[in-house]
Amino acid sequence: MTVLPTSGAPSDTAQGPFSGERLTEALVGVCAVAGLDPAGATLIKCTANAVFRLAGAPLVVRIGASTALRHRVEKVVHVATWLAEHDVPAVRLWSGAPQPVQYDGYVATVWEAVAAGGKRPRGRDLGKLLRRIHDLPQPARWLPTWRPLDDVRARIGEATGLDDADLAFLRDRYDDVADQLSRLQFPSAPSLVHGDAHLGNLIPSPAGPVLCDFDSSSYGPPEWDLTPLAVGVVRFGEPAGRYRELCRTYGMDVTRWSGFSVLRAVRELKLITSVLPIIGSRPEVRAELFRRMADVRSGNTSARWARYT
């Protein structure tokens, strides 16, 4: 039987792709396709993806919620393979089945679990890893061009449980931010970018931190990878020292660039809309979603946000 934690787990009465019953069915089905045993699996995260740690093998199963963004999973497989080929410290795909794994409309990936242990990742760790991936040779044509608002548009299209005024606000905000972004000229040459480079996407291990979550990876401006931690200092109360460590190690402070305000607006819009496909099955995220929307509506640029869990 699958074990769903009481804290943050979807209830059986919730609706949507990650309702309790459907999520359990998805895990069982994905494991059957991959030849794995779901018994005793633990749900360790459930936001844009549901992430399970299996009990019977050192593996992690990651199941996507968004139907409009399923195409990204093939890219994730390519990026993970590319990083492994270049020996970049990152999570590794499980080699025991073809990836991605598909079951009844769900698309999943299976990963080798990272060994427990190691120090908590710091800003300098993120800076080192970002410099390393930005200096890699230009990837093959499978890597898409950076279009950070495409997922925002897709998620707005999938949103349920929002009234017309909220949807109109999100669409108008999308149009405004997209217009500002289209006029930016970046100082750095494009490279592979992680796309969601914050400390939460570094996993400690005995050998040092490893990168995870390549859903947003693309070929684009390195400045984008320096933005999440900078925004995290303001919105989530990340210690400013962590961002200063990132800057010293990487060699750039993106907040001193004239285009940073636009990148911040893009990042915040993504932070708002990331849970839109699952708010039917995760009603507990609604309060935080509407608080974020209210802050952006009112122009409150210093309000602290809580992380979706």
> What was the pLDDT predicted at 8?
46
CATH number of 123-298: 3.90.1200.10
Superfamily of domain 20-112: Phosphorylase Kinase; domain 1 (3.30.200.20)
In degrees and rounded to multiples of 5, residue 232 shows phi and psi of: -60, -30
Distance (Å, rounded) from C-alpha 296 to C-alpha 27? 36
Torsion of CA 246, 252, 254, 259, to 10 degrees: -160
C-alpha distances out from residue 148 to 22, 71, 140, 231, 288, Å: 29, 15, 20, 16, 22
Distance (Å, rounded) from C-alpha 43 to C-alpha 170? 30
Domain residue spans of the chain: 20-112, 123-298
> What was the pLDDT predicted at 15?
52
Q: Are 273 and 155 in contact (CB under 8 A)?
A: yes
Enumerate residue ranges in the chain where pLDDT < 70: 1-20, 65-69, 309
Question: pLDDT digits over 194-250, tens only?
Answer: 999 999 999 999 999 999 999 999 999 999 999 999 999 999 999 999 999 999 999
C-alpha distances out from residue 127 to 114, 178, 199, 211, 227, Å: 20, 28, 10, 12, 12
The pTM (predicted TM-score) of the whole model is 0.87
